[in-house]
Amino acid sequence: MVATFVIFLREGIEASLIAAILAAYLTKIGQRSAIKIVVAGMVSAALLAGAAGAIIYATIKTWADTRAQTIFETIMYGLAAAILVSMSLWMGRHARTMSSELKSQAEGVLSKGERRGLFFLAFQATGRETLEATVFTLAVLFGPTGKGALLGGALGLVVAAGIALAMFKFGVKVNVSSFFKVIGWILTIFGGAMAANAVENLQGLGWLPFLDAPLWNSNGFIEGESQLGDLLHAFVGYSAEPTALQLLTFVGYIVTSLWLLSAQRKRLDRAVATPAVA
């Protein structure tokens, strides 16, 4: 529940920013009536991703407790881990130019007299967020902390809508850059947990038959199947009996992700500080 709350909160805020940028631009150029086309594109992307996710879930659910389901879970864990760090990297690259890029794309579509192109622009701009959220939700639903995942996602969207309303209707100031930075750190930990879960499954399948002896057993302190164990598993990938490879994967993922994010910020800062050569 906690994991999906955070991911949907992030995606909801980003989608709100996209909608606000396009709506403000269309209003500025006297095309306010086209805002409904943007909304239709965004809603269509969300519905398509949600429907695809529901179909996949219903199909894989019939494979319960089979080797095939374990393999699918492992794939979802791996995809979720890759997506979580890529989300932060993508936002780091495009946060400063997202507004100008969207306005430029909208201008290009409207200059051709094809207002329907706005639908596909909004669909594409939102599609990435909905696809990411779908993959992550599938990974969580099939995992040990899947209970309440959908409720967490719904709450995340509600809070995101509240923040967006406060920002755009009532003028409440929110440091969006800091918000995405903090969320990025949290998602990095979630990504480490997903990567460790993938390794756990691969070892269970017998595909990684090394470093597979449990390092310790902390069930006497915090049971892995308890509510607290589930909560810690969702936050930091807690396992009562972790193997060495799981632990190395978790720590390695976080260290690598933070290094990539730090290196990216330094490159972007240097690019901003370096004056353009005429």
The confidence score (pLDDT) of residue 44 equals 94
Q: Could you tell me which of 167, 143, 138 has the C-alpha nearest to residue 79?
A: 138
212 has pLDDT over 90? yes
* 184 in any annotated domain: yes
Whether 80 and 157 have beta carbons less than 8 Å apart is answered as no
- Residue 7, domain member (yes or no): yes
Beta-carbon contacts of 156 under 8 Å, excluding residues fewer than 6 positions away, are 4, 5, 6, 7, 8, 9, 10, 11, 12
User: Does any domain span residue 11?
Assistant: yes
User: Does a structural domain hold residue 278?
Assistant: no
Whether 277 is covered by a domain: the verdict is: no
* Residue 277 confidence (pLDDT) above 60: no
| Total domain count, the chain | 1
Cβ proximity of 222 and 38 under 8 Å: no
Buried b (16+ CB within 10 A) or exposed e, 108-144: ebbeeeeeebbbbbbbebbbbbbbbbbbbbbbbbbbe
State pLDDT tens for residues 122-167. Answer: 898 888 888 888 988 888 887 665 667 788 888 988 998 888 888 7
For residue 235, is it within any domain?
yes
Cα 17 from chain centroid (whole Å): 15
Q: Tell me if 204 is assigned to some domain.
A: yes
Q: Cβ(8)–Cβ(160) under 8 Å?
A: yes
Do the domain assignments include residue 167?
yes
Q: pLDDT: is 150 or 255 the higher one? A: 255
pLDDT at 90: 80
pLDDT digits (tens, 9 = 90+) for 36-77: 999 999 999 999 999 999 999 888 888 878 898 889 989 999
Local structure of 99: helix, strand or coil = helix
Q: What is the pLDDT of residue 207?
A: 94
Phi, psi for 238 (deg, rounded to 5):
-60, 135
Q: Is the pLDDT of residue 276 over 60?
A: no
The mean predicted confidence, pLDDT, of the chain is 84
Element (H, E) at 250: helix 244-273
Which structural domain range is residue 33 located in?
2-270
Give the model's pLDDT for residue 228. 77
Task: Read off the pLDDT band of 94 (50, 70, 90).
Answer: confident
According to the model, what pLDDT value does residue 235 have? 66
CA angle 91, 124, 182 (to 5 degrees): 20
Contact 7, 153 (CB under 8 A): yes
